[in-house]
Structure 1
């Protein structure tokens, strides 16, 4: 019954969500957001790292999953998002967690059934799948969707006879 930590990285707000997966059932454990603080880039990235480290130390997840960066219209925004994502991955790696990565389309497909779903559809399905009446924020809902995606992907691979889920590289499972 693995405990999965999902991360929705952001340069201003990073969402996190924890779900426990057993068979085809998923149970909500916790979720929230890290509101990035600091004056300099280094301080902001350090805040993401330390805040997520505290979440990891509190909940002791078994696995983690992070949403991949997609190209924004503004390259500067994509760069900032990538840096926030890097700080999150460093926190996960520092605690020895295996980390899987998923594109926004893969997450939507796993949770909603279609890769072009809008945020409201994802939030609705996260609430339905986890039997929640409310979720604290859109960022927390997105992070829970990442965790659910990883749980669903792992279950599918297990049914197909895969022994472990070790992550993706170049669009293929290794």
Structure 2
């Protein structure tokens, strides 16, 4: 599985690509941070981010794109910019038929460090260790993008098993409801007869 991890942001957008093998083995292929000037028009900033992310998708051919889910922040303006950056990247992936998975910051931290409230230094240290890197990825947006990709590699098999189990349970319920309906229908006919 080749995962493109994205830590979305307007000022700094972390992009990474890792290859996941069997078990928990992951290899970093590339990581970078796209920067846009704060004084630039919003639409132009989003275009720069989208262009960079789409170039990565076309170059690295990921099988899935993992994006950090924005769910709450104290600064609404920052949250909006982060969501917009994530949105243009998800759109680029969708146009290429690449599935997109969203993970919350606490899911990522928990997957990588074992602690859903870990700080940026802990995440960076664990990413460095997990990937066997010689130096810590900087800035933190690069480490976060790698952490998102790692999180997806490790969570995807579990998420797939859960989806299959839910689908099987839904199918079983459908068959049960149909059988129950048939029994009730037969009982109603027998009662009339």
TM exceeds 0.5?
A: yes
In the other structure, the counterpart of 2:129 is 128
Q: Secondary structure at the match of 1:114?
A: coil
- TM (norm. structure 2) is 0.78
Q: Note the residue ranges of structure 1 that are not aligned, 5 or more in a row.
A: 164-174
User: Residue deviations 1:12-40, cap 9 Å, x none?
Assistant: 01001111111121111111111125821
Higher strand share: 1
Q: Does 1:32 pair with 2:22? A: no
- TM (norm. structure 1) is 0.86
Q: Note the residue ranges of structure 2 that are not aligned, 5 or more in a row.
A: 166-193
In the other structure, the counterpart of 2:91 is 90
In the other structure, the counterpart of 2:145 is 143
Task: Pick closer, same or farther for the CA change 1:116–1:40 going to 2, 3 Å.
Answer: same
| Cα distance, 1:57 vs structure 2 | 1.1
In the other structure, the counterpart of 1:172 is none
Question: Counterparts of 2:159 and 2:84 in 1: how far apart (Å)?
Answer: 30
Count of aligned positions:
162
After superposing on structure 2, the runs of 4+ consecutive aligned residues of structure 1 that deviate more than 4 Å are: 157-163
In the other structure, the counterpart of 1:101 is 102
Q: Secondary structure at the match of 1:50?
A: helix
Task: Pick closer, same or farther for the CA change 1:81–1:130 going to 2, 3 Å.
Answer: same
| Cα distance, 1:120 vs structure 2 | 0.5
| The one of 132, 152, 155 aligned to 1:153 | 155
| Cα distance, 1:83 vs structure 2 | 1.2
